[in-house]
C-alpha cells in the first residue's frame, strides 16, 4: 500500500474537518469507522468519513505523486494537519505508516487497513438542483425542532413532502413542531415523502457556505446532497411520520404582534432567572406583554415588552429554550403569537412570511 501527494495545509485541514464530521464517535462501532479514507487518482484527492448512516466526501485538488488508497485515524490526522505551519505538506504512505512532512515538522502515523473500510451506498436517483440559500434557510428553520433522542428515530428526522405548490419540510420532537414551505421547489413526485435524518441536514447546512446551488439525488434508501466539492449522503429513516396536520389549531382567538428582535432580547434576559427547568411566563393583555421568570430560592425577572394584543387577557408559560429557538428562526422583523388558552398549542409565525409555522406546547404551571 503506497500513496504520495503534496498540498497546501489549509486545503488538507478543510477536507479532513468536513469529512471528519461524519466519522463515528460511538463506542462499539467498527474501529475502521474512526478513520477517514483517502484516495488519490492523478491530482484528485477524495477524503471520506462515515458512520454508515451519514457519509461526507470531499474532493480536492493536490499535486499527485503516486495513486493509492489509505485509511488514517480521523481525529489524529486532523489534529496533526491543524498543528502544522501554513504552507506545503507532503504526505507519503508506505506499507503501514503515513509520513506527514511540513518543514520543520515530521510525523509518522500508523494507518488502518483499507480493506476493513465498508462499501458505502450512494443515492442513485435523478439529479435535481435546489437554490442553496433558500434550502439552507429552510433547514435552519426546521432542524432544531427535530428530536435528538435515538429512542424515537422517526422524530429525529425531517419530513420532506411534496405539496401542491412545492416542497414542505416538517419536524417535531413532540413538544414543538416546525413547518416550512418552499413554493415552486419540486424534488419529489406527487404525494411522495421522505424522512431525512436532521443530523445530515445540519451538516449540509454547515457546508453550504455561499454556494448557489445544491444537487440532490434521492435513492430508494438514501439521499445524496452535493455542494461544490462536498457530498453529504445519508440513509433515509424508515417509518411513518406522525400526522402533524391535526395538531395545528385552525382557529386562534388571541393574537400578539411584536417586534422579533425586541422579544428575542427580552426572553434571553428573563431566561437567566428561569433555572432548574422553570418556564418563562408571557402575560398578554391590551397593555402589551410582560415576561416573568421565577425560580424558587434563586430570584425572579420581569420585563415589559411593547406589543399589540387582540384577545382575552391570558398568561401562557413556555420552555424558554424552545421559545427562543422559534423566535430565532422566524423570518422577518415582526412575529405573531396566536393562542387559544394556557394549555393548547400556541402558533408562532412571521407577519410577512406565511410559509413558516412554529407550534409550541405550553408548560402547565400551578
Note whether 284 and 314 are within 8 A (CB): yes
Note whether 19 and 57 are within 8 A (CB): yes
248-360 has the same fold as 127-245: yes
Does position 249 have pLDDT exceeding 90, yes or no?
A: no
Locate cell 411520520: which residue? Answer: 241
Note whether 168 and 354 are within 8 A (CB): no
Spatial separation of the C-alpha atoms in residues 54 and 67, rounded to whole Å: 26
CATH fold, domain 248-360, is DNA Polymerase III; Chain A, domain 2 (3.10.150)
Q: How confident is the model at residue 24 (pLDDT cuts 50, 70, 90)?
A: confident
Q: How many CB atoms lie within 10 A of CB 151?
A: 7
pLDDT at residue 27, as a whole number: 62
Q: What angle do CA 25, 157, 163 make, to 5 degrees?
A: 150
Instruction: Report the predicted TM-score, pTM, of the whole model to 2 decimal places.
Output: 0.88
Mean residue pLDDT across the chain: 92
pLDDT at residue 95, as a whole number: 87
CATH fold, domain 127-245, is DNA Polymerase III; Chain A, domain 2 (3.10.150)
Q: How many CB atoms lie within 10 A of CB 87?
A: 10
Considering the chain, what percentage of its residues have pLDDT values greater than 90?
77
Spatial separation of the C-alpha atoms in residues 264 and 320, rounded to whole Å: 10
Q: Which residue has the higher pLDDT, 40 or 183?
A: 40
pLDDT tens string 233-248: 999 999 999 999 888 8
Note whether 279 and 291 are within 8 A (CB): no
pLDDT tens string 214-238: 998 888 899 999 999 999 999 999 9
Does position 28 have pLDDT exceeding 70, yes or no?
A: no
Q: How confident is the model at residue 165 (pLDDT cuts 50, 70, 90)?
A: confident
pLDDT at residue 266, as a whole number: 98
Residue 309 bridge partners (DSSP) = 256
Q: How many CB atoms lie within 10 A of CB 126?
A: 8
pLDDT at residue 120, as a whole number: 85
Could you tell me the residue ranges of all domains in the chain? 2-116, 127-245, 248-360
Does position 167 have pLDDT exceeding 90, yes or no?
A: no
User: Beta strand 230-235 with 254-259: parallel, antiparallel or unpaired?
Assistant: unpaired
Per-residue DSSP letter, 312:
S
Least confident among 104-113, 184-193, 285-294: 184-193
Spatial separation of the C-alpha atoms in residues 64 and 72, rounded to whole Å: 18
pLDDT tens string 250-280: 888 999 999 999 999 999 999 999 998 899 9
- Average pLDDT on 298-304 reads 96
Spatial separation of the C-alpha atoms in residues 232 and 49, rounded to whole Å: 10
Does position 349 have pLDDT exceeding 90, yes or no?
A: yes
Spatial separation of the C-alpha atoms in residues 140 and 268, rounded to whole Å: 20
* Residues contacting residue 295 through CB under 8 Å, at least 6 positions apart: 273, 274, 275, 276, 278
2-116 placed in CATH 3.10.150.10: yes
Q: How confident is the model at residue 359 (pLDDT cuts 50, 70, 90)?
A: very high
Considering the chain, what percentage of its residues have pLDDT values greater than 70?
99
Residues belonging to the chain: 366
Spatial separation of the C-alpha atoms in residues 210 and 231, rounded to whole Å: 16
Spatial separation of the C-alpha atoms in residues 366 and 363, rounded to whole Å: 10
Per-residue DSSP letter, 37:
E
Q: Which residue has the higher pLDDT, 25 or 210?
A: 210
**Phi, psi angles (nearest 5°) of residue 338:** -105, 135
Amino acid at each position: 500500500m503506497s500513496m504520495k501527494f503534496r498540498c497546501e495545509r489549509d486545503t488538507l485541514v478543510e477536507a479532513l474537518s468536513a469529512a471528519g464530521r461524519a466519522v463515528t464517535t460511538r463506542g462499539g462501532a467498527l474501529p475502521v469507522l474512526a478513520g477517514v479514507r483517502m484516495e488519490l487518482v492523478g491530482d484528485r484527492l477524495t477524503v471520506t468519513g462515515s458512520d454508515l448512516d451519514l457519509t461526507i466526501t470531499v474532493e480536492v485538488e493536490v499535486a499527485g505523486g503516486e495513486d493509492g488508497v489509505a485509511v488514517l485515524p480521523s481525529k489524529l490526522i486532523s489534529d496533526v494537519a491543524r498543528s502544522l505551519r501554513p504552507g506545503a505538506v507532503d504526505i507519503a504512505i508506505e506499507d503501514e505508516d503515513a509520513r506527514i512532512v511540513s518543514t520543520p515538522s515530521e510525523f509518522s502515523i500508523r494507518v488502518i487497513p483499507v480493506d476493513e473500510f465498508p462499501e458505502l451506498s450512494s443515492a442513485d436517483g435523478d439529479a435535481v438542483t435546489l437554490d442553496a440559500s433558500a434550502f439552507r434557510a429552510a433547514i435552519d428553520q426546521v432542524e432544531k425542532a427535530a428530536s435528538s433522542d435515538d429512542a424515537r428515530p422517526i422524530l429525529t428526522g425531517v419530513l420532506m413532502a411534496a405539496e401542491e405548490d412545492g416542497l414542505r419540510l416538517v419536524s417535531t420532537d413532540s413538544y414543538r413542531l416546525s413547518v416550512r414551505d418552499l413554493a415552486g421547489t419540486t424534488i419529489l413526485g406527487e404525494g411522495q415523502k421522505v424522512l431525512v435524518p436532521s443530523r445530515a441536514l445540519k451538516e449540509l447546512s454547515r457546508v453550504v457556505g455561499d454556494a448557489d446551488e445544491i444537487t440532490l439525488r434521492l435513492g430508494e434508501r438514501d439521499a445524496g446532497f452535493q455542494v461544490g466539492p462536498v457530498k453529504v449522503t445519508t440513509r433515509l429513516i424508515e417509518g411513518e411520520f406522525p400526522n402533524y396536520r391535526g395538531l395545528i389549531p385552525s382557529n386562534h382567538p388571541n393574537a400578539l404582534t411584536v417586534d422579533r428582535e425586541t422579544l428575542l432580547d427580552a426572553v434571553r434576559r428573563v431566561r437567566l432567572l428561569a433555572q432548574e427547568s422553570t418556564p418563562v411566563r408571557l402575560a398578554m393583555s391590551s397593555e402589551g406583554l410582560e415576561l416573568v421568570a421565577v425560580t424558587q430560592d434563586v430570584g425572579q425577572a420581569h420585563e415589559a415588552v411593547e406589543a399589540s394584543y387582540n384577545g382575552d387577557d391570558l398568561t401562557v408559560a413556555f420552555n424558554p429554550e424552545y421559545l427562543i429557538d422559534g423566535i430565532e428562526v422566524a423570518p422577518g422583523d415582526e412575529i405573531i403569537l396566536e393562542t387559544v388558552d394556557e394549555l393548547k398549542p400556541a402558533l408562532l409565525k412571521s407577519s410577512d412570511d406565511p410559509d413558516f409555522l412554529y407550534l409550541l406546547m405550553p408548560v402547565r404551571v400551578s
